[in-house]
Each structure stands twice: as structure tokens, then as C-alpha cells.
Amino acid sequence: MMLDEILQGITQNISPLSAVTLADVKRLAKIREVPKNEILVREGDYSYELYYVVKGGARAYYLKDGKTISDWFAFENDFISSIVSFFLEVPSQHYIETLEDTTFMVLQLKDIEFLCDKYHDFERLGRLSTTKTMLQLQQRIVSLQFKTSKERYDSLLEKYPKIELRAPLGDIASYLGITQETLSRLRSRKNRI
Amino acid sequence: MMLDEILQGITQNISPLSAVTLADVKRLAKIREVPKNEILVREGDYSYELYYVVKGGARAYYLKDGKTISDWFAFENDFISSIVSFFLEVPSQHYIETLEDTTFMVLQLKDIEFLCDKYHDFERLGRLSTTKTMLQLQQRIVSLQFKTSKERYDSLLEKYPKIELRAPLGDIASYLGITQETLSRLRSRKNRI
DNA sequence: ATTCATTTTTGAGTTTTATCAAAAGTAAAT
DNA sequence: ATTTACTTTTGATAAAACTCAAAAATGAAT
């Protein structure tokens, strides 16, 4: 069954779960198919769902001065949520939108809390996957803090080699903290070398 | 006793611990007094210690092209570690240095692992404090991504109102992703208004 | 194939910030 | 009080990126 493989992938990457815990997770986790360009979370929503990308891709973005600023990309095997809303239970400042037809595994906050309460090994999985995300954010800060935009673009391409084909230019540019014009010029300069 | 108050503060802010767990934490946590401008972790070190600032302040920084780039400030009630080295057990790219005479509470990685294994409530505390740090990093990314340097300086001042008196200009500037000359001009422009 | 809407690229001018250099200010030590 | 070392400010110039505008390219729909 599909959920089995997905959970096996997650636990192998992060931390194992007992058969009992796994059975309970399988009972609570849901698969959701979402078409391209669909918005899962809107600004102002309370978002109680954590998404794991099984196939496809999505992005989180927010609005600043009427402009769309991408904050996070998630492709196969990545988690995505409206992170602040989900963990602090406040209205979302982010939108979450699919970039392609996407299959998610979805977990509800209340179920995650239930699982964390009931199973020490699930709490461990939660701690370690949070740690992993924290380290990714840390890398991103180093990147934004003092790398040139070209260096930042190169590291993004290293993480997501074909992202140019999966996300529009403007989304990628705002993720890098630059305008799309600048990214376009960067790209053409790069290709000439 | 001092450790009691410290731990009470932490658990009140994040997640409670049973008396049994607390007793074990108290046995393992150590208080360390460190004079100003002392380096606790150097580039290349393996850093197995997590620091909690009881009194004083410290910063984490790394070197890029011979320049010092501040990455994280910690004052009273903040945690600090060479985050990547600590969690991935790889050599540190960061230095950690006190900004003032500082009292830390120190926990060893092996002790944290032991406590997480043994006590579900400690694992919970670990998960939630990691979550908290993750959300702080997330805010910092939003800040670096598309706020002006003045906006970034203002949010830093909001978090640490008197930081100008506790950390040198250059350290603050690099934390904000700008040169110290720019911060100096920013500051004088600000004061004139 | 043609149209229409959207995305990407290119151009010109402006603003912001970096760089390099020097001057001014601050603090500790003799 | 004076020296010394260090930090902060100021100035001039250069580089990077932004803004606004328009042209070119792409892709979906008829």
C-alpha cells in the first residue's frame, strides 16, 4: 500500500517507529491529490495541516507590498506547511500553492499531538525532523546573509537541479531575495560562460 | 540553588518536566562562568555542548573571505551552540565567543541523547525548543529576504533593545547582512529624524 | 495556424550598498 | 595626561540591484 512506502521512506531517513506506532500513524495520515496551481492555505487561514510531498511540488509564499515572495519550495520527500501558523496556531501569513499536480500525505496537528503524546518514538521522529528543518533554515540564512545572488542561485540549483523547469522565474527570484529581472540577467550571464 | 531556577524558567517557557526527569537533568547540567571575549568553540572543533545563557551574552560567527560574519546572538535565556556541528556531529564552521562576562548552563550532547532516550517528557522539551528555534530562524529569513536594512535593524532592536551597547557595530552589521559602514550611516540617519 | 494571456528578457536610468581610505572618537594602560 | 589599540564615522567612487517600460518568447485554447 502507498502509505507504507511513504512512511518507510520517512522513518528510514529520520528515525524508526515501532509497528504499533506505525499502525496508528497509518490510520491517521491521509493521501490527498491536488491539481496544479491550487491553493491549499490562504493568508488569514488557521492551518492545522502538515503536508509531505509524495509526488509533485508546492511552494509557500507571502505578500509584501502587493508582491508575492516565495519562502519555501517542497518537492518529492519534502515537508511543507504554513510553518508559523501550524506551530503557533495563529492565522497564516503564508499561502501554500501547488506548482504541479501533486500527491501529498497530510497529517493534522491534533493527530500529531496525539501521536507525540502517546508514542515516545513518534515524539523522537518529530524532534529529529524539526531539527532537520531547522538546519536547512540555518543554511538558508547563511546563504541570504552574505552570498552573492549568483552563489545563492547555484546552491538552490544544487538542491533542486531542475527547479527552473518546475517553478516560474519570479517565484525562484523572490525565494533568492532578488527581482525576477535580476535573476533573468544572472541566468543569461551564466549561460554565456 | 541556581540550577533549579534556571530549569524552572526553561520548563515554564517551553514544556514541563517530571520531578524524576528534573533531578536527572540537574545531575547532568553544569554551570560555567566565562570571561568576556573568550572563545568557546573554534572552526574545525567538534562541538558537543549546548549553551544556555543565564547571564551575559555571546555570539556565533563564521569566517568568509577573511571577514567575520555574525550568525546568532544569545543573551539572557537564549540557547546557543555551533548548531550544525552539534546536531550533525561534524567539525564546526562557527566560532562561539562571549560578548561579556557570561554565566552559561552547559549540556553535553551525549547527556541530551541519554535524557531524550530515557524520558519522554525531555524528548518533548527538546522537540518544542527546537521548534521554537526553527520559528526564530524562519522569521530571520523573512527579514533577510525582503526587508530593507533599516527594517532589519529595527526588528533586531525590537528583539534586543540595547544590543548596540552589548555588541560591537561590526558584529551587528554582519548579522544584518550589511557592512559596518552602512550600519553606521543607517544609525546616524535614523538619529537625525 | 492564429490569437490571447502569461512569462521571460532586454534596456535605460536611479537607488542602494560595497569598497577603499582616512579621520574622528573611545577606552584602557602606562 | 599621553600613548596605543580599537571602534565608529565620514567621504568618494564603484558595483550591484532595483524600478519602470517595452519587446520577445512561450504556451494554451480556439
In order of their start, the domains of chain B are 2-118 (2.60.120.10)
Closest residue on chain B to A67 (Cα): B146
The whole-model pTM stands at 0.92
| Segment A148-159, tens digit of pLDDT | 899 999 999 999
| Alpha carbons A58 and A160: distance in angstroms, whole number | 13
Nearest CA to B96 among B140, B51, B157, B152? B51
**Do the Cβ atoms of B124 and A144 come within 8 Å?**
no
In the numeric block, which cell numbers belong to residue B78? 537564549
pLDDT tops 70 at residue A193:
no
HEC profile of B141-191: HHHHHHCCHHHHHHHHHHHCCCHHHHCCHHHHHHHHCCCHHHHHHHHHHHH
| C1' (C10) to CA (A52) span, angstroms | 39
Q: If residue B30 lies in a helix (H) or strand (E), which one and from where to where?
A: strand B30-34
pLDDT tops 80 at residue B190:
no
Which residues of B are less than 8 Å from A142 in CB distance? 62, 71
| Segment A35-77, tens digit of pLDDT | 999 999 999 999 999 999 999 999 999 988 888 999 999 999 9
Determine whether the distance from the CB of B185 to the nearest atom of strand D is below 7 Å: yes
Would you give the DSSP letter of residue B66? T
Write down the pLDDT at residue A67: 87
A-B CB pairs within 8 A amount to 85
Q: From the alpha carbon of A178, which nucleotide's C1' atom is closest?
A: D17
Interface residues 42-81 of B with strand C (CB < 7 Å): none
| Alpha carbons A158 and B86: distance in angstroms, whole number | 24
| Alpha carbons A80 and A191: distance in angstroms, whole number | 32
Q: Is A52 helix (H, G, I), strand (E, B) or coil?
A: strand
Interface residues 119-148 of B with strand D (CB < 7 Å): none
Tell me the nearest-neighbour CA distance from A132 into chain B, angstroms.
Answer: 9
Neighbours of A26 (CB within 10 A): 13
Determine whether the distance from the CB of A169 to the nearest atom of strand C is below 7 Å: yes
Write down the pLDDT at residue B192: 46
Q: To the nearest 10°, the Cα dihedral for A132, A135, A137, A139?
A: -140
| Alpha carbons A71 and A49: distance in angstroms, whole number | 18
CB distance B85 to B46 below 8 Å: yes
Amino acid type, A52: Y
In the numeric block, which cell numbers belong to residue A67? 508582491
**Considering CB atoms only, which of A120, A133, A145 is closest to B134?**
A133
String of DSSP letters for B100-131: SSEEEEEEEHHHHHHHHHH-HHHHHHHHHHHH
| Alpha carbons A90 and A86: distance in angstroms, whole number | 7
Neighbours of A118 (CB within 10 A): 13
- Average pLDDT value over all residues in chain A: 93
CB distance B78 to B25 below 8 Å: no
| Alpha carbons B54 and A145: distance in angstroms, whole number | 28
| Segment A112-141, tens digit of pLDDT | 999 999 999 999 999 999 999 999 999 999
**Considering CB atoms only, which of A123, A138, A141 is closest to B127?**
A123
